[in-house]
Structure 1
Amino acid sequence: MTTENQPANAVKTANNKKRNTVLAGITVLFIAAGAAYAVYYQAVLSKIQETDNAYVGGNLVNLSSQVTGTVTEIRADDTQMVQAGAPLVTLDAADADVALAQADAKLGAAVRRQRQRYADVGQYGATVALRQLELKSAEDDLARRLPLAADHTISSEEVAHARQAVNNARAAVAVAMKQEQAAQASVAGVDVSHHPDVLAAKADYQAAWLAARRNTIVAPVSGYIARRAVQVGARATPGTALLSIVPLDQLWVDANFKESELRNIRVGQPATVEADMYGNKVEFHGKVVGLSAGTGSAFSLLPAQNASGNWIKVVQRLPVRIALDTAELRAHPLRIGLSTTVKVDISKTDGPVLGAAMPQQPVYQTAALSQPLQQATTAADTIITRNLH
């Protein structure tokens, strides 16, 4: 029986050796894979900070009217591209035209009033000269009567009347001189066209002129129309949003990293962004430009009150701003609010933690809303000249 079991034992021994060899190989393979992953993690993954809690952000420029008026025209709608300075909404110009005509008339009336005041100065001067002649005549008359009164040729009552006439003439001269000084005080040092009253009326005319031009509401920036709320016939008032314009060349990504992931994130570190809209076929390149000054919960409408009795620690997230390459944005446009996955290369940590100081030049600006004020000034000067003659 022992002889019969020897071949079976030999086979079993051979199988055990084979199994042990396979298990050893698998063990070595797992160890090698673990070592390779450890090397890969240390060399690559540990240098990358990744989050999929990231969304595209951008400027949402709200367009509103600077004057009150009724909407008569809307020249652009949602999803349409507009250029800076393009007219988008037109208001009824009747009220503005009437206000401009009133300002025209008031400016002309102000000039004519000042012309009259300047003329009154000369009239008061002539009145002073007349009152001085009357005083001289009264003094001469009193001088003639005094010797006669001494000889009792005339009565003392006549002398008293002559004295009273001199006093009245002196008072009249004083009143006339005060009136002349008051008239001169209102016009001294300036001509009619530069008198404060005329300049105030001129400013009112310029304001009315600008209001008339602002009945046409233009796009302050180039971009795409979004959230149009204005309707034809609606009453537009200053400050009420009519529509929004999104400049798709001024987009960024706000990546919300956990507070435990921010240790090695620095300003200036390169980052790659994958948008769910394009998948892994398109990769955007950018860099970290700053970290928010507070977490999302701290800036929420109702911040958490952690001083309550029932407290549960929640991992906070801090928005990290990623600037995107404008050329890549032109090739593959994004939209505000799209989901993305952000990977930040944290291999170099020599950059600053806080953002840079504000630049000397404006970050954003527009010349589309500027008005040719010189034209209004020229029109007002024409009105002044017309009423001076």
Structure 2
Amino acid sequence: MLVVGAVVLLGVIAYTAYYFLHSRYFEETDDAYVASDMVQINSEVSGTVISVGVDNTQQVTRGQTLIELDPADAQIAVAAAEAELARSVRNVRALFSRSSGLKSVINARQIALQSARNDLQRRMKVAAEGGVSAEELQHSKDQVAQLEAALATSSEELETNNAQVENTTIANHPQVLSAAASLRQASLALKRTRIVAPVSGAVARRNVEIGSRIAAGTPLLAVVPLENAWVDANFKEVQLEHMRVGQPVEVHSDMYGKDVTYHGKIAGLGAGSGAAFALLPPQNASGNWIKIVQRVPVRIALDPKELAKNPLRLGLSMHVEVDMHNTDGSLVATQIRTAPQQLIANGEHDSDLNVKIADIIKNNSGGVKPAASGVL
């Protein structure tokens, strides 16, 4: 009995020493799973699928062509937009030319009016002596009135025309800018018939086939950037007392077993328990209430080099052990991502399109860039 008692006592002492020197600084859980971003690929324009270049599980790189739509309709729209831009340039050019022509007409009518007024003055002097008939004098007065009216009409026409072209050139006239914007939009729609991978990753959830007629916004597939995967570990609320952002973590995957160890750190603690964000949250304000220990998701950021060497997949089960020796960290994460995640998007502006627009304007403006026009 003494021997048994001594063994039990030694066991208690050993366990107590192990707990206070090591075990109490660690928390672990098997309720942990791999997670990552899932970039949804949608069509931004409607069209018929003529090519699908990828399939599920395939690794793709940023900028790689995934799907192509029939570009015929978009090409026709671009051609129509180019013709509309050329027509707008010629219309605006005609406005500038009309202003110049109206100025010449006004100048000629001013000269004619001054000459008619001089003739009327001479006839009025002669008429006082009876040298000109009353009918001829009235005819001269009518001619002056007609020229004054014609001059006023031309001046109004010039003001109206100048209101459309003043302080502009052909290149920056509103009509031309509007037509150029329409061409950019049509060119952008043509670009969007070629759908590229916005990020590098693995293809998943592909549900598009060749020949399908799709509408804008239709989900086609997803790209999962596995190099940015993390682990969501669901710890009991009683395990979170000493957990802090930045504490080191060791992670093992059921896929690779104990031979592969991932080293990471706590990136952040969830804003609430899993039950709080469930589709149907529990209603605790009832007569029959049973306390249930809640679990809070804790995000574990993994070492990118280790992750590249031994890639993980979404949803894999993980074993997580947190080292809580250092409790100086914060309970609230200020920044999870070190850099914002950016996607490849079809830009509205590119150098080739700008050159094409400039050529269309130049070829249809008669080689002349009119200066800004003011009101006469």
TM-score, scaled to structure 1: 0.87
2:170 to 179, 192, 207: 192
Report if the CA contact (8 A) 1:85-1:221 is conserved.
yes
Aligned to 2:314: 336
Correspondence 1:277 to 2:255: yes
Aligned to 1:43: 21
Correspondence 1:248 to 2:226: yes
Structure with the larger helix share: 1
Residue 370 of structure 1: CA displacement? 5.3
SS at match of 1:282: strand
Correspondence 1:376 to 2:353: yes
Residue 367 of structure 1: CA displacement? 4.5
Aligned to 1:179: 157
Residue 200 of structure 1: CA displacement? 1.8
1:317 to 280, 283, 295: 295
- Write out aligned runs for 1:130-141 (5 A): 130-141=108-119
Separation in 2 of the partners of 1:320 and 1:279?
A: 22
Measured at CA, do residues 32 and 108 of structure 1 come closer, stay the same or move farther in structure 2, by a change above 3 Å? same
- Write out aligned runs for 1:291-330 (5 A): 291-330=269-308
Residue 265 of structure 1: CA displacement? 0.5
SS at match of 1:272: strand
- Counting matched residue pairs gives 366
Measured at CA, do residues 134 and 310 of structure 1 come closer, stay the same or move farther in structure 2, by a change above 3 Å? farther
Separation in 2 of the partners of 1:115 and 1:371?
A: 27
- Structure showing greater Rg: 1
Separation in 2 of the partners of 1:149 and 1:308?
A: 115
Report if the CA contact (8 A) 2:45-2:217 is conserved.
no
Residue 161 of structure 1: CA displacement? 4.7
Report if the CA contact (8 A) 2:188-2:346 is conserved.
no
Residue 181 of structure 1: CA displacement? 2.1
Aligned to 2:179: 201
Separation in 1 of the partners of 2:3 and 2:339?
A: 66
Measured at CA, do residues 329 and 111 of structure 1 come closer, stay the same or move farther in structure 2, by a change above 3 Å? same
Separation in 2 of the partners of 1:219 and 1:357?
A: 26
Report if the CA contact (8 A) 1:85-1:369 is conserved.
no
Letter of the structure 2 residue corresponding to residue 189 of structure 1 = N
TM-score, scaled to structure 2: 0.90
Separation in 2 of the partners of 1:126 and 1:376?
A: 39
Larger CA deviation: 71-80 vs 171-180: 171-180
SS at match of 1:283: strand
Residue 269 of structure 1: CA displacement? 0.1
State the identity as a percent.
43
SS at match of 2:88: helix
Letter of the structure 1 residue corresponding to residue 88 of structure 2 = A
Separation in 2 of the partners of 1:148 and 1:369?
A: 81
Report if the CA contact (8 A) 2:188-2:347 is conserved.
no
- CA-to-aligned-CA distance 1:251-283 (integer Å, 9 cap, x gap): 100111122221110011001112222232322
For structure 2, the residue ranges without an aligned partner over 5 or more in a row are: 367-376
Residue 369 of structure 1: CA displacement? 5.0
Report if the CA contact (8 A) 2:191-2:346 is conserved.
no
- Write out aligned runs for 1:1-389 (5 A): 23-154=1-132, 156=134, 159-357=137-335, 362-367=339-344, 369=346, 373-389=350-366
Separation in 2 of the partners of 1:131 and 1:105?
A: 38
Separation in 1 of the partners of 2:346 and 2:9?
A: 68
Separation in 1 of the partners of 2:285 and 2:315?
A: 33
Separation in 1 of the partners of 2:116 and 2:288?
A: 103
- CA-to-aligned-CA distance 1:272-319 (integer Å, 9 cap, x gap): 112222232322110001112222222233333434454443332221
Residue 55 of structure 1: CA displacement? 0.9
Report if the CA contact (8 A) 1:83-1:219 is conserved.
yes
Report if the CA contact (8 A) 2:184-2:348 is conserved.
no
Separation in 1 of the partners of 2:191 and 2:90?
A: 28
Measured at CA, do residues 308 and 166 of structure 1 come closer, stay the same or move farther in structure 2, by a change above 3 Å? farther
Residue 357 of structure 1: CA displacement? 4.2
Larger CA deviation: 51-60 vs 199-208: 199-208
SS at match of 1:233: coil
Aligned to 1:13: none
Residue 48 of structure 1: CA displacement? 0.5
Separation in 2 of the partners of 1:320 and 1:172?
A: 85
SS at match of 1:217: strand
Letter of the structure 1 residue corresponding to residue 356 of structure 2 = A
SS at match of 2:226: coil
SS at match of 1:229: coil
SS at match of 1:321: strand
Pairwise CA RMSD: 2.1
